[in-house]
Amino acid sequence: MLPWYKQFWPWFLILLPGTAVVATLYTVVIANQYADDLVVDDYYKEGLAINRQLERKNQARALGLKAELSTQQRQLNIQMEGPIEASQLRLLLSHAMEADRDFAVPVQKISLGHYRVLLPQVLKGRWHWTLDEGVSSEWRIDGDHLF
């Protein structure tokens, strides 16, 4: 009779749970590598930030500020309505599912109420945008745009 390590059935029986262990380790690696960006670590600070954002949106509404975006390849045009005198605005573009693709760009004033920026890349799909005067801005306008 052959020793156990030279027979088929012991190796077959070891292979079944071994495959499950390898699949589990692979699943853990995938879960850690592609973690969900929608989960927030500090809920309290996030809640305070949301309240501040709502105040800034209400201020924009009170001032009668509106923005309309239009694109041509990488060029993004913004038509503003309302009492805006700033020569430069900040535009934050946020991807719906992948936070690592979010970026901010300065937007230059072309004429009264008209701003323009050349985007670093051609964007595809629906993106969320936020427009303000920078870090100390008292107002904020946001919306969605399909590129």
In this predicted structure, the answer to whether residue 110 has a pLDDT above a threshold of 70 is yes
Cα 93 from Cα 89, distance rounded (Å): 13
Give the pLDDT mean for 87-106. 92
Q: Using pLDDT thresholds of 50, 70 and 90, give the confidence band for residue 99.
A: confident
Domain map (residue ranges) of the chain? 4-33, 43-146
The yes or no reply on domain 43-146 and CATH 3.40.50.2300 is: no
- What's the whole-number average pLDDT of the chain? 91
Query: Model-level pTM?
Result: 0.70
Q: Is 145 helix (H, G, I), strand (E, B) or coil?
A: strand
